[in-house]
A and B are shown apart, each in its own frame.
Chain A
Amino acid sequence: MEKFINYTSVVIPIDRSNVDTDAIIPKQFLKSVEKSGFGDNLFDAWRYLDQGEPGQDCSNRPLNSEFVLNRKPYREGRVLLARENFGCGSSREHAVWALRDFGIRTVIAGSYADIFFNNCFKNGVLPIVLPSADIDALFDCDKDSGPFSMEIDLDRQTAVTDSGQVYRFEIDDFKKECLLEGLDDIALTLQHEGDIAAYEERRMREVPWLFQDLSR
């Protein structure tokens, strides 16, 4: 996994709660067997005025000029701001692949759906949770004074607006380390091979029927 590097970017405000993964990447794009190439179809139904199909060249498609990702300077933005329960619905990791592919490495929201939240960390994307008063303040900042940037500093666990407002966020130490170091989860787990083998041996004795053979 690519390491998470601190950066500064324009904040893209999507003023909705319950943004679901079907909206982030519609189902027709899930037919791909690759992990990349989803960026052009991020928020496809909101971003374009026509119906998108996989494998299509998106450069000539009619854009929905009202949608934030199509407006300057937001389309260069690499931090996404949303409200409660971002990423709800389907478990599709393609939603995170689409965000990452577009270049978005940080989402700031009031809360996230559990599966989406987990998927972010597997792909070097940082999901920041802030209290709803802070989320309100950030949306107001964009509404009242126009586009603004934030500096995302994972080491210090801060997101700082270009006017100097500091938002501190919490993150699990283990997840933080994995993001900063770009660690491979599977390799980490395999370090505990001994524990896993011992667990299996005990369980095979105690509850043998749980080790079903689905190849029979």
Chain B
Amino acid sequence: MTGKTLYDKLWDEHRVRESDDGTALIYIDLQLLHEVTSAQAFGGLREAARVPRRKAANLAVADHNVPTTDRRAGITDPIARLQVETLDRNCKEFGITEFAMTDPRQGIVHVVGPEQGATQPGMTIVCGDSHTATHGALGALAFGIGTSEVEHVLATQCLVARKMKNMRINLNGILPDGVVSKDMILAVIGLIGTSGGTGYAIEFAGTAVSNASMEARMTLCNMAIEAGARSGLVGVDERTITYLQDRPYTPRGEDFECAKDYWLQMVSDPDAVFDQEYDLEVSTLRPQVTWGTSPEMVVSVDDVVPDPADAPDQTRQGDWTRALDYMDLAPGTRIDAIEVDKVFIGACTNGRIEDLRAAAQVASGRKVAPNIKQALVVPGSGLVKTQAETEGLDRIFTEAGFEWREPGCSMCLAMNADRLEPGERCAATSNRNFEGRQGYGGRTHLVSPSMAAAAAIAGRFADPKQL
């Protein structure tokens, strides 16, 4: 018998029952909730007079709609305020723990889960948010679901699902200085395309992954969804165990030792077979920049904007042409000649402490260029913010001319007041460059934290090493 992949193990461990047609009922260990995709689920429970099966298996936090300026003033937008208050009310009514907007632990749900130790290896984790894939970095099966499924999990602690296929992406080599996990995942999406991973769980492996920090692994898994895969995964190793130690919700003492033995099994067996496998040598990788309106439209900082005439097929030729038109870019333009108007550092992709350190290193002792209208730094959580302030990163940013904000999703999707105006161009550390994503008519280029900081300093895209 051949070995099992990490995904196979997670699937088998959580199968409650399976029908002959392959439809299974799988058990969910942890559900994370936020304000945008939960109200209708709680409403559904109420209508059907149902209650959460295990309320203590849920954790809620408002992140999408919250202001990143002074919280004491509350939320000015009445519709957004109602949505956040609805979450507060639902959590209270149904007995679910919520980190309220003024709680120091509040932050982006995918930053908070691992930070609190609520995310643990061997778990199944869901949230009404596609970037739930992030939690797979700890060897958990984590994926985004719609609101109907949020309700289903609340009511039954289970989901109806079919097994996905297994994909492994081997990232081998030593990353060059200044090139980070964000560049790796953008390059992967460029390689396999935004639907390359559809129907698969993607495991990231190889020396560049085993050498990566837990936070860097989270960035990789976060964007698995941008390659079409609902789940990203990294096998558990000693680094995972060290990360988990002494977090508020991780087991203590003897329980920790038992859990640890179990966690360390959360790896693919050496003889496991994958349905699809890719290899990417990363030692020559350059910083990546997206040029279009899909994350797969990506090149290196020293490349030029591609020509739709060179597109691999007619459909993509049309997509590229439309994207260039929307982005107001001409084929052949050097990436490092593209000027930006705004810079956004944050999001569940790159809002953790290491990301802020990398950006601060570039910003340190420099000034934001005069053509930059706004450069925002939005920590992923209240605890990340406090840590950054302890290290003096906030002062580095503010002295350079960046704005230092309160935690939340912010300009990644611009549901709050942080947004691009029509036509504005942004260097963003977030995960999506779709039309209008950061504001109606806004133009987004996805980059790493140090590339975003470098764009703020240079006023255009630049290799941080050449500033």
Q: Interface residues, chain A, CB within 8 Å of chain B? A: 15-18, 20, 22-23, 26-28, 30-35, 45, 51, 54-55, 83-85, 88-93, 96, 111-115, 118-119, 122-123, 172-174, 185-186, 188-190, 192, 195-196, 199-200, 203, 207-216
Contacts and interface: CB of A to CB of B under 8 A. Distances in A.
Contacts of B440: 26, 45, 51
A33 B86 contact: yes
B37 A113 contact: no
Given A88-B228, A96-B146, A196-B158, A18 B319 contact: yes
Greatest chain A CB density within 10 A among B56, B147, B225, B316 is at B147
B27 A203 contact: yes
A189 B156 contact: yes
Given A33-B83, A51-B422, A114 B230 contact: yes
A115 B97 contact: no
Contacts of B57: 211-212, 214
B21 A173 contact: yes
A207 B262 contact: yes
Given A92-B37, A186-B155, A214-B58, A85 B228 contact: yes
A18 B227 CA distance: 11
5 contacts: A16-B322, A93-B148, A112-B198, A212-B57, A214-B249
Contact of A192 (B16, B80, B322): B16
A174 B43 CA distance: 26
A214 B130 contact: no
Contact of A212 (B16, B21, B129, B249): B249
Interface string B68-89: 0000000001011011001000
Given A27-B415, A55-B79, A88-B194, A83 B152 contact: no
B104 interface: no
B86 to A, nearest CB: 5
A209 B120 contact: yes
Given A32-B79, A118-B149, A89 B157 contact: no
B215 interface: no
Contact of A214 (B86, B97, B149): B97
A27 B413 contact: yes
Contacts of A51: 422, 440-441
A186 B156 contact: yes
Contacts of A27: 413-415, 437
Closest 4 CB pairs of A and B: A122-B148, A93-B146, A119-B146, A33-B39
Greatest chain A CB density within 10 A among B59, B414, B437 is at B437
B46 interface: no
B449 interface: no
B95 interface: yes
B403 to A, nearest CB: 21
Given A18-B194, A119-B148, A172 B21 contact: yes
A114 B319 contact: no
A69 B369 CA distance: 43
Interface in B1-59: 16-17, 19, 21, 23, 25, 27, 29-30, 36-37, 39-40, 43, 48, 50, 53-59
Contacts of A188: 160
Contacts of B123: 210
A18 B294 contact: yes
B251 A209 contact: yes
Given A113-B228, A185-B160, 8 more contacts: A23-B434, A84-B195, A88-B194, A91-B129, A92-B36, A93-B37, A186-B152, A215-B97
A123 B393 CA distance: 47
B198 A113 contact: yes
B418 to A, nearest CB: 12
B271 interface: no
Contact of A17 (B58, B199, B315): B315
B152 A91 contact: no
B25 A195 contact: yes
A119 B59 CA distance: 23
B464 interface: no
B30 A54 contact: no
A27 to B, nearest CB: 5
A169 B194 CA distance: 24
A33 B43 contact: yes
Interface in B83-130: 83, 86, 95-97, 118, 120, 122-123, 128-130
B144 interface: yes
A140 B123 CA distance: 47
Interface string B154-181: 0111101010000000000000000000
Given A192-B25, A212-B57, A84 B315 contact: yes
Interface in B234-251: 249, 251
A189 B316 CA distance: 42
Contact of B432 (A16, A22, A189, A196): A22
B394 interface: no
Nearest to B31: A214
Contacts of B143: 115
A214 B118 contact: yes
A28 B415 contact: yes
B183 interface: no
B56 A31 contact: no
B355 interface: no
Contacts of A173: 21
B310 interface: no
